Amino acid sequence: MDRRYCYKDLLPLVVLIVNECNNTGLFTLFKAATLQGMSSYVFVTYAYTVAFLVLLPITFFYRRSRVVPPLSSSILSKIALLGVIGCSSQILGYVGISYSSPTLSSAISNLTPAFTFMLAVICRMEKVAIKSRTTQAKILGSIISISGAFIVTFYKGQSIIIADNSPFVQLRQSNGILTSVDRNWAIGGLLLTACNILLTVWFVFQVEILKDFPDELTMVFFYNLSAAVVASVVGLLGEKNTSAWKIRPDISLISIVCTGIFNKFLSSAIYAWGIHLKGPVYVAMFKPLSIVIAVAMGVMFLGDTLHVGSIIGATIISIGFYTVMWGKATELKEEEEEEEDVGSQESPTTENVPLLQSNKTVNSTKKIDGSV
């Protein structure tokens, strides 16, 4: 029982928390690289290529040493589609971060649980009973989260932590809501929202693939292969400057290698494992943990300015997120109680059979043995 609890509950909790911390740190590293002129399209292409090259020998020896499910053309086509969805999400996300900041990315990522819940309802992976308090909590939480995303995207407000000590920054940000909307910030917010919508589709679509092909590592390998191909095509169309494809041995190279290994490979494998084990909604619930880490890293390492709008919006999104999670946790608890009730009402075992009935069974068995 203890081992089952550690693998089913404790291990996913710890691994997914560490994974979100890892991803937030990589987003900050990417932002630092873009500040030195690295292209988002080049970054995504090279990161997926690094992940594919690292996975190539690992997957080869893994499939030779174990009995794994066979690959079919339908599975490969689904994984290729998964690559298109995931690559599109990543390109939108990294371009959005280049327009804004990792802090905004982490704040808007709080929308992922709400989007995942709504898509899971559409795909009939989640139960919906309007009169149930758990369903009402999940619907209300989704609405609150989306409202908070609009605030954090279109309202910056007064500065709380100012990276630039110039008094002009304070004066400019202290005006009303109309002047607090920054064009790049809004564009980045919209791109990041689209990124998280596609990320939700990416989570839920993996459930369908893993039902027919329960091999996470092989799925991640072919996913990175197809995503690298898509990213290369999009990158060649989006980045016409040939000099941008030449990576210097500085923070750009470090960011690409680290993201390829720890995000595209390791994080994708963790997500696939978590979705297969606990479902897409459970995996999505850890996204809001990144906001605190992103704020701290952005202020310390990137010189980001922390605004009131980000705090208010992130707080509202977090309230919506925890409302959804409360509904989900309560629903799981009720399902476990129902399973226990059903188990207790099952037919009695031979240990609970009356003594007279047990003797009759033994005697009839002896007669059958004698006749044989």
Q: Per-residue pLDDT tens for 69-92?
A: 888 999 999 999 999 999 999 999
Question: Which CA distances in Å does 174 have to 107, 149, 177, 187, 313?
Answer: 22, 21, 9, 21, 17
To the question of pTM greater than 0.85 for the whole model, the response is no
Alpha carbons 88 and 108: distance in angstroms, whole number = 17
Lookup: tokens for 145: 């989260």
- Span 15-49, pLDDT tens digits: 888 888 888 888 888 888 888 888 889 999 999 99
Residue 276 in contact with residue 210, Cβ under 8 Å? Answer: yes
Lookup: tokens for 84: 């298109």
- Span 132-158, pLDDT tens digits: 888 888 788 878 877 876 776 677 777
Average pLDDT, 10 consecutive residues per value, the chain (372 residues): 65 85 85 86 94 93 83 93 94 88 76 78 74 82 76 72 42 40 79 90 90 90 95 91 88 93 91 85 72 67 71 79 76 74 58 46 46 43
DSSP 192-214: HHHHHHHHHHHHHHHHHHHHH--
Query: Between 73-99 and 40-65, two packed helices, what is the crossing angle to 10 degrees?
Result: 150
Residue 291 in contact with residue 101, Cβ under 8 Å? Answer: no
SS3 250: coil
Half-sphere exposure of 239 (CA within 13 A, CB side): 22
Alpha carbons 125 and 146: distance in angstroms, whole number = 21
Buried residues in 117-139 as b, exposed as e (16+ CB within 10 A): bbbbbeeebbeeeeeeebbebbb
Contacts of 20 (CB under 8 A, 6+ apart): 286, 287, 289, 290, 293
Helix, strand, coil percent values for the chain (each to nearest 5):
80, 0, 20
Q: How many CB atoms lie within 10 A of CB 165?
A: 7
Residue with tokens 């210097």: 248
